Structures are given as C-alpha cells and as structure tokens.
Chains A and B, each alone.
Chain A
Amino acid sequence: MISRNARAGLAIAAGATALLALTACVPNTSASGNGESTSVAVSSTADACAVSKSTAPSGTVVFTVKNNTDQVTEFYLLADDGLRVVGEVENVSPGVPRTLTVHLAAGKYFTVCKPGMAGEGVGKAEFTVTGSGKAIELTGTRSRLTAAAKNYVAYLRDQVSQLVPATQGFLAAYLAGDTATAMALYPTARAYYERIEPVAESFGDLDPELDNREADVASGDEWTGWHRIEKDLWPPANAGYLPLTPDQRIAYAAKLTTNTQQLSDAVHASDYSVSIDAISNGAIGLLDEVASGKITGEEEIWSHTDLWDFQANLEGAKVAYDVVRDIVAPKNPALVKTLDSRFGSLETQLAGHGSLATGFRFYDQLTTSEIKALADGVNALGEPLSRLTAAVVD
C-alpha cells in the first residue's frame, strides 16, 4: 500500500502539465499520409476474436472491428508484454463496425477482444509486424503524448476490468470455505491491483480500504480489504487468533467487492484522464512500493506472497515506462539505455524466483543474501527511474 510518491503521482491531471492531459474521447490517430496501409478485419464473437491477418508490414495498420456478439465489446492491440495497450476501441456496439488505426514498428503484438468489457478477454493471439524497410512516420510530440496518455488509460481500464472478476473468483472460494483455492487465487488476483496501485491511491480512501495492512490501521479504526482476509486465510500460529465468523467473512467480502467496483467505476468514468507526468510518476511510485514494502516482506506478512506483488509492481512500472519511453528516447538516450538495461536485469533476476503463471517462492523461503541481491536490483533501477519524470516533461 501507499507510498507518498505514488500518491502525488497518479493524481488526476492538474496544474502545469495539465495541458498534456487528455480526455478519453480523443480520436484515434488518423492515418498517415503516405497512402499505404494494411487492413485487418476483426470479428468479435462470444468466445473468439478472429483477425483476418496475423501479420503486417511495419507502417499503418487499420483494424476494422465488427461486433458479432449481443453485448458491447472492446478490441485491444497489446504490446509484446501482453499488458501495455498500443491501441484500442471500446464501446463497439453489435452490428456497428469501428476502426482502429495505428502506426506500428516491427515487433510482436497481441490482439484480444473483450465482450462485455470485463475480464481478461477472449481470443488473445499474437500479431506480428515485420520490418517493411520504410521509416515509420512519427507523429508530432504533442500528439504522441496524447496517444500515450490515452493508451495508458486504456491499460488501466483493462487491468481493473480484469481485477473485478478475479476478485470475485477469489472471494467466491473464500466464502465457500475452499481455503486452498482462495489461497492460490489470492496473489494472482492481487496482481491486477498491484500493477496499477498508484491509481487507487489517487482516489482518496479507496486504497486504504482495499489494501491497508494491519499495522497501517490506527487503534479504533476498522481494518478492511485484502489483507484482512489474508490474515484469516493464513492465521498466525500460537497467537490466539480468532477466525472470522461466517457473517464477518460475508461482510468483509462485500466491502472488498464494493470498493473494487468503485475503483473500476472511477477509472471507467468518461472524464477520467491522466497526465503524462502522472504516468512516469506512477512508474517511480510502483518501484518505491517494491523498495519499501515488498523487498522487506511487510506487504504480505501472513501469506508471504510478496514476490507476486513485486512482479506485478515491476510490470506496472515497466508498462508506464514503455508508455513514455519513446518520448524520452530522443531527449535523453542515455537514461533510456540505462533504464532498458536495468529493467531487463531486474526482470531476469525476479524470474529466477518464479512467475505469476507458475508461482513464486514465498518471501520467508528466501535467504538474506537473495533478498539483498533483489534489493540491489531494485535500487539499481530505482535511482535512474527517479529521473524519468524530469526527462518526460523536459
């Protein structure tokens, strides 16, 4: 939970840099004028996201999304990390095709549809862009900032829309008394939250209600959220811990559900936006989260699933960095080179302890020297990352 940096970070755009902010209704980038583009037809159905082509030469690509379901759908083009949004169209009504026009450099991408606009989506598939030899026409800085911020909002919405059902799945197991399943789902459901935690922190009371640790709560105040349930699932030994009653469990689960929905509604509000410096500060804030809470084992003192949070924080920071990377690259190539390298090193180092897909080692299984090595990696990245915002707004 909370770090001062992050709280200041992803606050809704205001002040000097607000001119860089945008509203969610900024139109998609228009086609560049060089005349040549690749057209891809997308058909969103209840359980598939069929694309007419899975490759394209670098340059302009126009996706035409047709909704063949009976509910509103969305289409996302994701970067090779499967997280960062490169382009998206939302609110695609049945029978009314929409287009997404993007300028793509060579590389690996993913296409995915999200009927009902919630959950992890269906039909996620690789989309490969090959080098065409043609230089990608870059749009002006202003419009790149606009596009970056818009895509970041889309990413945030994608994450919360996956957080909601993941939380429901976790709580269903918990309330059904299926402790083993609940314990397994706990860290993976939280990953959607941990990737975008600074956002929750920007909405006043939401983060404390969702993610306070026991030690964060003042005497006399009520402790709610993820960690309240964590303690009930991993009760402390020999400490006279009284398990929650069925009624209490229902109450805490309902509260978590309500707060999570509030978060989702807030991020999905039509006027929700973030400024470009808030994005880079979000990256810094997420790594601060790792440095102050996860690397010390304080965040998950009952479950010891700190490395899951660490991974999600790191992914969230990387996404935010990638959003602004191309803006910083021409202005401060040395910083970008350092950050690329140190993100890579830390990702590799953490991967040595597991993955979100297969699980990580528990914090209390790590040796002091392993923790120190991770802390060194976090510091190595955190120091140059702290200079990102200045480079972005420069």
Chain B
Amino acid sequence: MTANDAPSGISRRGLLGLAGAGVVGAGVGIGVDRFVLPRESASSSGASASYPFYGEHQSGITTAAQDRLHFASFDVADISRSDLIGLLTDWTAASARMTQGLGVGPDGAVGGRLDAPPDDTGEALDLPASGLTITFGFGPTLFTSADGTDRFGLANRRPAALIDLPHFAGDALLADFVGGDLCIQACSDDPQVAVHAIRNLSRIAFGRASIRWSQLGFGRTSSTTREQVTPRNLFGFKDGTANVKAEDTDQVNGHVWVPDGDSAAWMTGGSYLVARKIRMTIETWDRTALREQQRVVGRDKGAGAPLSGGTEFSDPDFGKKDATGAQLIDTDAHLRLAHPKQNNGAVLLRRGYNFVDGNDDLGRLNAGLFFLAFQRDPRTQFVPIQLSLAGHDAMNEYIRHVGSAIFAVPPGATKGSYIGSTLFEA
C-alpha cells in the first residue's frame, strides 16, 4: 500500500474507525469538505474530524476554521527547479498522510531502524487527525527574487493578482515577519497536531527551504461555516460575524476561488492569501471605556450586534443616527470601514487567529491577531479594504501591523500529482 492509499480517517492508533467515511469530493457543490460529525458545540470541527488532502481546492480555506494554527513562511535555498518540484512532491506525500492521522514516511515514528532517526518526529503519535489541514502558498519572490532573478523559470508565470502589497499608512512592519517564497498554513483542533505538521514539513525541507518566520495561533477569530459560533478576538469582541461562509456558494465562488479565465490559468481553483501580523496594544485597550470600545468597533461587545440595532447577524444601518444627529455607527468605526457596502462589495474569507508571543521588554503581552484572508484577487479585495482601514479606522490607535505577506494558493492536488503542479507543468 502506498502512502496515498492509506485509508482516510484512521487515527494514528488505528482507532476511531468512524472517521473512515471521510469525505467529499472535488466538485461537489462548494468546498465544504468537512467530514460531517454530529456536533454539540459548534465551536470546532471536532477532534476526530479528518479532511482529505487531495481535491479540487486545497483544504484549510472553506474548511470549518479549526481552533489552532501553526503558520510558517519559508525561503527556498539555492536549488534547481527540479529540486523545488521534489520538495513540493515530498511535502504533498507527507501532508496526505498527516491529514489522515498517519505519521510521516512509511516507517513513521517508531517503525523504523534503531540505527536511524525516525521518519516521523513522534509527538502526534496516538493523536487523531484532529481536523488537520495543510495549505500551501507561493510568494512573489518564488517567481522573481528580490534582486530580480528568475531562479526557477517562473517569472512569466507570476499571476498579475500576486502583487507586491503597497505600504499602508501606519504600517510598522518588522523585517522578521515579512514575505517568504513559500508558506504553509497548518490548522487543527489540537495544537500539538498543527505543530507536528510544520515541524515535520520543515524537517523534510532542510537543504531545500528553511523557515523565514512562523506564527502560532491559539484561538480562531473567524467562523467559516454557519454552524460555527462566532469567536472573539483579544479585544473581547466577536470577530468574523460577516465573514464569507462556506455554505454561501455564490460568495465563495465569486470572492474566494480563482475562476477559469482569470489572469493565470494555473491558478484556477486556487485563491490568494494575505497574512498580516497585527499587534494589539491590549493594555491601552483594556483601560478604554466600554462606550469607546464599542464606538471603535461599531458593534455591541456582548451580543455583537451592530450599534444601529438588531442582533449579531442584523445588517448594519450605516445611515441611522441618534437623537443628536450623530451616526450610531461612527464614521470611523471598524465595522463601517471594513464593510462590503463601503468597499464596492469587496469581501474576504477571513481565517485569522489570536496570538500571544510571550511579552515585550516593557512587560506588555506581545499579543494580537494573526490575520489570514483568502480571496480571488487582492487588488480588488484586500488592498482597497485595507487602504480604507489604514487611513481612518478608529481601531488604528490600538493596533500595529508588524508582519505582512502575500501568497498565491494553488488549487488542490490530485492523487499521484503534487501541490502546485499546474504552475510547473504548463
């Protein structure tokens, strides 16, 4: 049995047999590729969920947002085009196994020779797949490096939509958290499973690519399906209420997946990912009056309803005023400036995570939101929205954008092929 034939859904211990029914196939409606289990709290996709790695689209985009993240950006070493393809092939094989709850390599963590290091690092031994998805992306510098070199003969394959992001007002980017030739987003409901994925994939890459920067996220800040409860970010507000949801087929097809006929044919079925590391000055925020916090966000802190009234999912009324004639949703409120109605209908599929990277030298928590957004074309989606926010958002007083990257996320791989094969095989 080859690695790819392994029965889907088998846990590393081979228990949890019910997952064997895994599922979804490419092209079945939209990509709600979640293995459906009865769930009580719709807070997560469930420890025993397993998602197929192969398919029309990559998993980890419209998949119900898992609770944990380990994201890594890589620099590709001075290697050949065929070595790069070799890396993607090895990553594909390992990912196909790990997403099914299997260890890396035929011998796994403990089945190999005593005289050799194990194929798999072992910390996910006995753990189920835990909803693991592994999503790959290609950064602008993979196509043309910073000094203009076409390292892999890919320069003329760079999609027009894979732009170099402009400098936004207030950007305080740190070189340590910017860019990358490749990225891997590993999401799971078990943090150890997500870390295991990045650890093993980076190990496989030694000599071919090395981690440029990485980010752990401990709590999702968006829901990507209707079943999920809207989570809260570190400001304490519900986040992602108006997010694109997997069930909204038209929205997903219109705003997330690259359709046939867009600029780069090899990206059909893919998407574009913008990652922004947003530091929150939470200490300042926490001593801000509730009224001001709600004004900044534009929503009620408890239920998440827009300040124009209603419930969490009510449409905000941006024209509604109070008795004094002031806008109920402030003109600089985050909700207003980020809303599709204010951005020519532009929406994003957000999939961000809360982070706390210890503390800084001043004893403040190094905390914030690791923003991840998938979209069909950043030029008409992320960029105009962020231009609007960067200029006026009342929230800017409490946040700093310290990291930034953009990636072309190729379509899903088909069995027997490798992730990104459409880029290399014209």
Does B310 interact with chain A (Cβ within 8 Å)?
Answer: no
Give the shortest distance, in Å, between A326 (CB) and chain B (any CB).
19
CB neighbors of B among A216-267 (8 A): none
Interface window among B110-118, B256-264, B354-362:
B110-118
Complex Cα distance, B117 from A384, in Å, reads 10
Give the shortest distance, in Å, between B111 (CB) and chain A (any CB).
13
User: Which residues in B have their C-beta under 8 angstroms from that of A380?
Assistant: 77, 206-208
Give the shortest distance, in Å, between A24 (CB) and chain B (any CB).
25
Does B151 interact with chain A (Cβ within 8 Å)?
Answer: no
Give the shortest distance, in Å, between A380 (CB) and chain B (any CB).
3
Q: Find the residue from B115, B117, B203 having the highest chain A CB count within 10 A.
A: B115
Name the contact of B210 in the complex, choosing from A277, A376, A384 (C-beta under 8 A).
Answer: A376
Is B207's CB under 8 angstroms from A381's CB? yes
Q: Find the residue from A277, A342, A380, A386 having the highest chain B CB count within 10 A.
A: A380
Complex Cα distance, B206 from A382, in Å, reads 9
User: Which residues in B have their C-beta under 8 angstroms from that of A375?
Assistant: 210
CB neighbors of A among B101-121 (8 A): 113, 115-117
CB neighbors of B among A314-351 (8 A): 342
User: Which residues in B have their C-beta under 8 angstroms from that of A390?
Assistant: 113, 115-116
Does A4 interact with chain B (Cβ within 8 Å)?
Answer: no
Name the contact of A379 in the complex, choosing from B116, B117, B206 (C-beta under 8 A).
Answer: B206
By size class, the interface of chain A is 10 to 19
Give the shortest distance, in Å, between B286 (CB) and chain A (any CB).
34
User: Which residues in B have their C-beta under 8 angstroms from that of A393?
Assistant: 115
Complex Cα distance, B117 from A387, in Å, reads 7
Is A376's CB under 8 angstroms from B115's CB? no
0/1 interface trace, chain A 383-394, chain B, CB 8 Å (1 if under):
110110110010
Name the contact of B117 in the complex, choosing from A372, A381, A386 (C-beta under 8 A).
Answer: A386
User: Which residues in B have their C-beta under 8 angstroms from that of A383?
Assistant: 203, 206-207
Complex Cα distance, B203 from A171, in Å, reads 43
Q: Find the residue from B77, B203, B208 having the highest chain A CB count within 10 A.
A: B77
0/1 interface trace, chain B 194-216, chain A, CB 8 Å (1 if under):
00000000010011101000000
Is A386's CB under 8 angstroms from B116's CB? yes
Q: Given the interface contacts A376-B77, A380-B77, does A342 sit within 8 Å of B116 by beta carbon? A: no
Is B210's CB under 8 angstroms from A389's CB? no
Residue of B nearest to A277 (CB): B115
Complex Cα distance, B117 from A309, in Å, reads 25
Residue of A nearest to B208 (CB): A380
Residue of B nearest to A393 (CB): B115
Is A379's CB under 8 angstroms from B115's CB? no
Is B113's CB under 8 angstroms from A379's CB? no
Complex Cα distance, B77 from A379, in Å, reads 12
Give the shortest distance, in Å, between B212 (CB) and chain A (any CB).
9
Complex Cα distance, B113 from A249, in Å, reads 49
Report B's interface with A, CB cutoff 8 A. Answer: 77, 113, 115-117, 203, 206-208, 210
Q: Which 9 A-B pairs have the closest CB atoms?
A: A380-B207, A390-B116, A390-B115, A383-B206, A379-B206, A376-B210, A390-B113, A386-B117, A389-B115
Q: List 28 A-B contacts (CB under 8 A).
A: A277-B115, A342-B207, A372-B210, A375-B210, A376-B77, A376-B206, A376-B207, A376-B210, A379-B206, A379-B210, A380-B77, A380-B206, A380-B207, A380-B208, A381-B207, A382-B206, A383-B203, A383-B206, A383-B207, A384-B207, A386-B116, A387-B116, A387-B117, A389-B115, A389-B116, A390-B115, A390-B116, A393-B115
